[in-house]
Amino acid sequence: MLNQYPAWKYLLLIVVMAVSIVYALPNLYGEEPALQVSSGRTAQVDQATETRLRQLLDKAGLAYRAIERQDGRLLVRFHDTETQLEAKDVVKQGLGRAYTVALNLAPRTPHWLTSLGAAPMYLGLDLRGGVHFLMEVDVEAAVHQAEERYIGDFRGLLRENKIRYARIGRIKLEKGQDAAASGV
């Protein structure tokens, strides 16, 4: 014996599934490389900026998919990341410090989906594969700080044990010189 549900419940399930699929579709279209150009305090993003941007890209021979103006900034879409990186240098140099030029990924969602309010789900860095940081250490500064800390600790130890001393400091030895030979 099978469970029988009223027809309206099946119809409601079909409608909910259809709406869910439509709003999940933008995630299937992916992203494409883009440049985002926004204005600084002294400049504005207007038609003249867009024209100047087109001239810079055309002069450099860089092919772009589209240039869109949205929310007071320009979004330039490219076919590949190599062109995007070359364009960043050209645009940054051509527009100067009055504008901020940033690498971006723009969604490829078709207009008919965006007009319905459908947008892709933006993944955080943890879901995109994370971030790789390269940290450099100033070894000389770290060694200097350690030496200063040891001098302070040594002074404290001598005071604690009531041992008199005239001076405690660092002596910089030349390469290859031995501390015993230098009279330290």
CA dist 92 and 101 (Å) reads 6
Last residue of a domain, one of 110, 127, 155: 110
Output the pLDDT for position 182: 47
Output the pLDDT for position 153: 93
8 falls within a domain: no
117 falls within a domain: no
> Is there a single domain that holds both residue 162 and residue 105?
no
Domain count across the chain: 2
Last residue of a domain, one of 75, 94, 110: 110
Name the pTM for this structure: 0.57
Output the pLDDT for position 78: 94
**Helices (runs of H) and strands (runs of E) counted in the chain:** 7, 4
124 falls within a domain: no
Segment 158-178, tens digit of pLDDT: 999 999 988 888 777 776 665
Residue 164 lies in domain: 137-173
C-alpha of 69 from chain center: 22
CA dist 65 and 75 (Å) reads 10
How many Å is the Cα radius of gyration of the chain?
A: 32
Output the pLDDT for position 58: 92
Q: What share of the chain is helix, strand, coil (3-state, %, to 5)?
A: 45, 15, 40
Output the pLDDT for position 30: 86
> Is there a single domain that holds both residue 94 and residue 155?
no
> Is there a single domain that holds both residue 105 and residue 143?
no
Q: Which residues of the chain have pLDDT under 50?
A: 182, 184
> Is there a single domain that holds both residue 82 and residue 156?
no
40 falls within a domain: yes
18 falls within a domain: no
CA dist 11 and 70 (Å) reads 39
Q: Residue 52, exposed/middle/buried by CB under 10 A (0-12, 13-18, 19+)? A: middle
Last residue of a domain, one of 94, 110, 126: 110
CATH at 60: 3.30.70.260
